[in-house]
Structure 1
Amino acid sequence: MRVLNICNLKGGVGKTITSVNLAYVIAHVHKKRVLIVDNDKQGNTSKFFGAHSYDHPSVADLMTGAKSVKDVIRKSIHAGIDCIPANMTLLSANKAVLMDTMHPQQTRLKTAITAVAEEYDYCIIDNAPDENMSVINALAAGDDVIIPVKVDQFTFDGVDEMIQCVRQVRDNFNERLTFRGCVITSYRGNEVNVQGAAYLKQMEKYRLMQTHISWTAKVDESTFAARPIMAHSPRCWAARDYKRLAREYLTMIGDPCAAPAEGKG
């Protein structure tokens, strides 16, 4: 099971949208078994997949060791995708882990999901805009990191810090962790976006991915419908872009099952 982290210290850049849609494309287009982990107390990814609840164990229970991973995993409303949900209890779980110095703090999620590694091809983790213990745990459990960015005057807020955090986790807890690059979301093709993309591409440390995710009102609609964009509006540009992004990532890591790209030339 290959573990992909979607993260950025800045909110509102499309982390959840990217996580949800990559999971859906990898499961439905590339026919892979996908586990998605909601690692944000807001629980938006859980809501997308019909798994948000306070009556069922969540990722917080994995962090505190209260439940096993098989007790926490829920079938999603979409075939091929299972979900480890989150809710506001993750806030107290992060505090509990910090207080518990008698047990390893940074590798709890890794230990938990390793138990089901043979059951899935990919695990995608949607992280909170934070460097808390659950995010550190996600990075310590991961193989790859993609950072969504939105081109505006605050584009670089949090990106450099996130890259540094990835480097620190790799050096101290997980030598296989690899920063794969930044992906531009809400791309409009105007002068600001074109210049911002050119700057990101010029700066080697950001490793800008070739695929940009186009802005469309359909993406906002999909959040209200709680459906991946491919399920909500499969012919819109953003749906096609997420298919291209999935293929770019799978090709990058050498997955031979990456399907041909579709959409814009």
Structure 2
Amino acid sequence: MKKRAEKYVVGNFKGGVGKSTTVQMLSFESAFSRNLKTLVVDLDMQGNTSDVLNLTHMNYSEEEGGGDLLNFENTINDVLMYNLPVEEAVYPIINNLDVLPANISFEMFDDWVKKEYPESTDQFRYIENKLSPLFEKYDRIYFDVPPSISVYTKSAMYMADWVIVILQTQVKSMRNGLQYMEYMEYFVDEFETSLKVVGVIPFMLEASDAVDKEMYAQAQQIYGEHLLNTVVLKNARLKRYDGSGITLEKTKTGKIEYWDRRTHQIFKDIYDEIETHKTWFN
């Protein structure tokens, strides 16, 4: 039986809330901890996730699928604008984890696709058609998107099966999280997709901060059972991964170093909660 990837988009209309970090970590856990064939599709012209995953590649041995820094000669822009076969723009990061990278050249695509395909649905279908050869090669696909209502964001919603909403315990993020879910509901009705909210992740909570506690209590009331029990507290190791790539350092006795182990466990727990939430829709 052919594979049919489950596709996830991670969203919020506010930047800097942890969307890309969540894509990076969940895709890593999917590949490394769950042994699922996993792909990250970078739909953000800043290419931050592509860069972090490239650094991650350098942190692992050849046996683990790692190696020297990769040269992303081909990107998603070459696939969408210049008819490069999509398989030629996919790069291995570690065993079971690949990336379809983006860089600043992707900025040109927005104007191009709107000129070539004036109707929104045609834009989405064009992108889906270009990427579709990958859909039967993977178990999981994660879309990393910019924090805006753009062709990229809407195309990811159109292709995805599930949406994961990132929520920071701040007033603006709470508001933007709700706006994102309201827009998603409109999008599903307008374009007749089957996209479902599979979880809301509370991110970078200051456990001892009274305002954060108040915001988290409000989030529990607003999002109800969609809000995950696992909270991502402020985490220096996650911040370090932005510059070092994702690591699993070992002590002299061969055990995973404490802060790496603790950080990865957070996202393993998130991964498992999302899997449980998916059963609600069966």
- TM-score normalized with structure 1 length: 0.86
Of residues 82, 104, 107, the one that matches 1:91 is: 107
1:50 Cα shift?
Answer: 1.2
Question: Which protein is bigger by CA-based radius of gyration?
Answer: 2
Question: May I ask how many residue pairs the two structures share in their alignment?
Answer: 253
SS at match of 1:249: helix
Q: When you count helix as a share of all residues, which structure comes out higher? A: 2
Output the CA distance in 2 between the equivalents of 1:229 and 1:130: 33
Match of 2:261?
Answer: 235
1:107-118 correspondence runs (5 A): 107-118=125-136
Q: Secondary structure at the match of 1:253?
A: helix
1:134-161, Cα deviation, whole Å (9 max, x unpaired): 1111111000001112112322242233
Alpha-carbon contact 1:53-1:87 (below 8 Å) kept = no
**Corresponding residue to 2:28 among 5, 21, 24:** 24
Map 1:180-195 onto structure 2 (within 5 A): 180-190=198-208, 191-195=210-214
* Amino acid corresponding to residue 4 of structure 1 in structure 2: Y
Task: Report the AA paired with residue 186 of structure 2.
Answer: Q
Q: How far did 1:83 drift? A: 0.5
Give the RMSD, CA atoms, in angstroms: 2.5
Letter in 2 for 1:171: D
Cα pair distance change 1:218/1:36, threshold 3 Å: same
Task: Answer yes or no: is the 8 Å Cα contact 1:200–1:206 preserved in 2.
Answer: no
Indicate how the Cα distance of structure 1 residues 178 and 228 shifts in structure 2: closer, same or farther if over 3 A, else same: farther
Query: Structure 1 residues 46 and 95 mapped into 2: Cα distance closer, same or farther (>3 Å)?
Result: same
Moved more, 100-109 or 150-159: 100-109
Match of 2:43 among 31, 39, 45: 39
Contact 1:61 1:93 in 2 (8 A): no
Which of 219, 223, 247 is 2:238 aligned to?
A: 219
Q: Percent identity over the alignment?
A: 20
Superposed, which structure 2 residues align to 1:92-171 within 5 Å?
Answer: 92-101=108-117, 104-171=122-189
- Listed one character per residue, the Cα deviations across residues 53-111 of structure 1 (whole Å, up to 9, x for unaligned) are 886222223433622221221112x2110101011112110111111136821223322
The runs of 5 or more residues in structure 2 that have no matched partner are 56-68, 250-255
Q: Is 2:52–2:243's contact at 8 Å kept on the other side of the alignment?
A: no
Counterpart-to-counterpart distance in 2, 1:55 and 1:248: 34
Q: TM-score scaled by structure 2?
A: 0.81
Runs of 4+ more than 6 Å apart: 51-54, 229-232
One-letter amino acid matched to 2:99 = C
